[in-house]
C-alpha cells in the first residue's frame, strides 16, 4: 500500500511539473490603445444593405498593428470579426448587413504575433474588449445627395419642356429649321404622279413602342395627304401587326382630311409577315416587279437596311430614308438620295405634323441643349483664367 501510494504521489507531482507554464521571453501581451469616436450609420444614397463606420485612430501604434472590425447582433453579443483595416484609413463599409437588422459594431487594435532573434514566439497584442457603437440598421434610401445636380437639372428640363409645349398649344408660331430631306418629299411624290407609278412607304420593322416608328408614322400621315391630294397610288408594307394597324388608320385619316376618302383602299396598307428576312425578300421582290417612282425608308431598320436600299436604288426610284441608329445610317447615306440623320427624323415629324406636343418637345430640347453649351463655354473660360472650377457641380456619381 505504501509503495502504491508513493507511486501515485510521484505521478501527481510529475503532472504538476509538466502542466506548469513555461516562461518564454517576450510573451506578455502589450497594451495597445483603442480607437475612439466610433460612429456607425446607414450608408446614405444607396439601395440598402450597407453600414458605414468612421473612427479616429489611436495616437501611436506599433509597426504591423491594425484595426479589427467586429459586429454583433443584440441582444446576444457574440462578436464576429469582419475585417482588419490598416491605420490611417479611418472608415469601413459593411456590405453584408441585412436591412432592418440592428447591429452593434466594435473596434479593437491588434498586432500580429512576432518571432524574436532567439526563436521565441510572442503573443499577439490586443486591447481586449472593443469600443462599441450604438445600434444601427441599414435601409433603402430614396435620394442620393451626390446626385443633387442631376435632380435639379432634370427638374429644370421638365419645366422647359412643359413650358415649350404650353407655348406651342397657345397657337404661337414655333420656328423649326427646314430640313433638306423634307424638301424632296413633294419632288418625289410629284415625279411619281407624272409618270403614273406608285409611292412605297416602309415604316421600319419595329412595333409602335419604338420612338422611331412613332416618328415614321407621323411622317407617313404627311406623305399620305400628299398622295391623296395628287391622286398618286400609295403602298405601305408592314412587318409588325401593331404598326400595320396604326399605319392603316393614319392613311385612312389623311385621305379623309384631304376630302378624298374614295381614293383610299384597304390594300394600300398591307401586312406582309413578321419574319425579318421574309419581309425583306417580299418587299424587295415587289420593288423589282413594280418599280415604284419613290421609296421612303423611314423608321428603325436592322440588317435589311442595305438590302432594301440597294434594291430600291437598282429600280431608279427616288429614295428618302430616315434613321436614328448610327449603325445603319451609313448604308442609307450611301444608297439613298436624301437621308434624315439622327434627330432630324424626330424634328421632321414635328415639322410636318405641326403637333403642339411634338413642336414643344423639340423647342424645349433645343433650349436645354443651348443652356448646356453656354455652361460648357463659361466653364472653360472660367477655368482657363483660374477664376472658378465648375466641374464638381457637373460631376455625377
> How many residues comprise the chain?
397
Structure letter (DSSP) for residue 267: G
pLDDT, position 238: 97
110-119, 323-332, 374-383 — which is least confidently predicted? 110-119
Based on the fold, state whether residues 159 and 280 are members of the same structural domain: no
**What pairs with residue 105 in β-bridges?**
71
For residue 11, what pLDDT band results from cuts at 50, 70 and 90? very low
Mean pLDDT of 376-392: 89
- CB-based contact 339:321 (threshold 8 Å): yes
Q: Which residue has the cell 457637373?
A: 394
Percentage of the chain surpassing pLDDT 90? 53
Average predicted confidence (pLDDT) for the chain: 85
The pTM of the full predicted model, rounded to 2 decimals, is: 0.63
Mean pLDDT of 341-363: 84
Backbone angle region of 291, left / alpha / beta, with phi > 0 → left and psi within -120 to 50 → alpha:
left
| Structure confidence by residue, pLDDT tens digits, 237-265 | 999 999 999 999 999 999 999 999 999 99
Based on the fold, state whether residues 67 and 160 are members of the same structural domain: no
Based on the fold, state whether residues 163 and 203 are members of the same structural domain: no
Please, which residues have CB within 8 angstroms of residue 36's CB and are 6 or more apart in sequence?
55, 56, 58, 131
Q: What is the DSSP string of 24-72?
A: -TT-SPPBPPPPEEEEEEEPTTSSSS-EEEEEE--S---TT-EEEEEEE
Strand ranges in the chain using DSSP code E only, listed in sequence order: 36-42, 51-56, 66-73, 76-85, 91-94, 104-110, 131-132, 199-202, 234-238, 269-271, 294-298, 318-323, 338-341
Mean pLDDT of 18-22: 39
Based on the fold, state whether residues 326 and 379 are members of the same structural domain: no
Residue 140 lies in a domain: no
201-205, 244-248, 350-354 — which is least confidently predicted? 350-354
Residue-number span of the structural domain to which 336 is assigned? 180-354
- Cell numbers at 245, concatenated: 394597324
Mean pLDDT of 85-90: 89
pLDDT, position 346: 84
Based on the fold, state whether residues 199 and 316 are members of the same structural domain: yes
Q: Check which CATH number belongs to the domain holding 44 and give it.
A: 2.60.40.10
| Structure confidence by residue, pLDDT tens digits, 214-228 | 999 999 999 999 999
**What pairs with residue 121 in β-bridges?**
115
Amino acid at each position: 500500500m505504501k509503495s502504491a501510494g508513493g507511486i501515485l504521489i510521484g505521478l501527481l507531482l510529475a503532472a504538476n511539473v509538466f502542466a506548469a507554464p513555461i516562461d518564454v521571453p517576450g510573451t506578455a501581451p502589450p497594451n495597445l490603445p483603442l480607437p475612439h469616436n466610433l460612429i456607425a450609420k446607414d450608408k446614405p444614397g444607396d439601395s440598402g444593405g450597407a453600414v458605414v463606420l468612421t473612427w479616429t485612430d489611436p495616437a501611436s501604434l506599433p509597426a504591423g498593428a491594425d484595426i479589427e472590425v467586429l459586429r454583433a447582433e443584440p441582444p446576444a453579443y457574440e462578436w464576429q470579426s469582419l475585417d482588419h483595416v490598416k491605420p490611417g484609413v479611418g472608415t469601413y463599409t459593411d456590405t453584408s448587413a441585412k436591412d432592418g437588422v440592428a447591429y452593434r459594431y466594435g473596434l479593437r487594435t491588434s498586432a500580429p504575433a512576432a518571432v524574436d532573434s532567439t526563436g521565441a514566439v510572442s503573443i499577439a497584442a490586443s486591447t481586449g474588449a472593443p469600443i462599441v457603437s450604438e445600434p444601427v440598421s441599414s435601409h433603402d434610401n430614396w435620394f442620393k445627395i451626390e446626385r443633387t445636380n442631376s435632380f435639379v437639372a432634370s427638374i429644370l428640363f421638365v419645366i422647359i419642356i412643359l413650358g415649350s409645349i404650353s407655348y406651342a398649344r397657345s397657337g404661337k408660331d414655333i420656328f423649326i429649321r427646314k430640313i433638306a430631306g423634307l424638301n424632296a418629299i413633294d419632288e418625289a411624290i410629284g415625279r411619281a404622279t407624272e409618270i403614273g407609278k406608285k409611292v412605297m412607304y416602309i415604316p421600319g420593322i419595329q412595333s409602335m413602342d419604338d420612338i422611331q416608328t412613332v416618328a415614321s408614322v407621323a411622317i407617313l400621315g404627311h406623305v399620305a395627304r400628299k398622295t391623296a391630294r395628287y391622286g398618286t397610288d400609295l403602298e405601305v408594307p408592314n412587318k409588325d401587326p401593331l404598326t400595320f394597324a396604326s399605319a392603316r388608320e393614319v392613311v385612312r385619316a389623311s385621305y379623309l382630311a384631304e376630302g378624298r376618302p374614295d381614293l383610299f383602299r384597304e390594300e394600300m396598307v398591307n401586312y406582309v409577315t413578321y419574319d425579318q428576312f421574309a419581309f425583306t425578300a417580299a418587299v424587295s421582290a415587289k420593288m423589282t416587279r413594280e418599280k415604284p417612282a419613290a421609296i421612303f425608308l423611314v423608321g428603325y431598320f436592322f440588317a435589311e437596311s442595305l438590302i432594301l436600299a440597294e434594291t430600291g436604288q437598282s429600280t431608279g426610284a427616288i429614295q428618302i430614308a430616315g434613321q436614328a441608329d448610327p449603325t445603319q445610317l451609313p448604308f442609307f447615306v450611301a444608297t439613298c438620295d436624301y437621308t434624315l440623320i439622327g434627330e432630324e427624323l424626330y424634328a421632321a415629324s414635328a415639322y410636318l405634323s405641326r403637333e403642339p406636343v411634338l413642336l414643344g418637345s423639340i423647342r424645349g430640347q433645343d433650349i436645354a441643349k443651348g443652356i448646356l453649351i453656354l455652361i460648357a463655354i463659361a466653364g472653360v473660360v472660367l477655368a482657363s483664367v483660374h477664376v472658378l472650377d465648375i466641374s464638381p457641380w457637373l460631376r455625377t456619381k
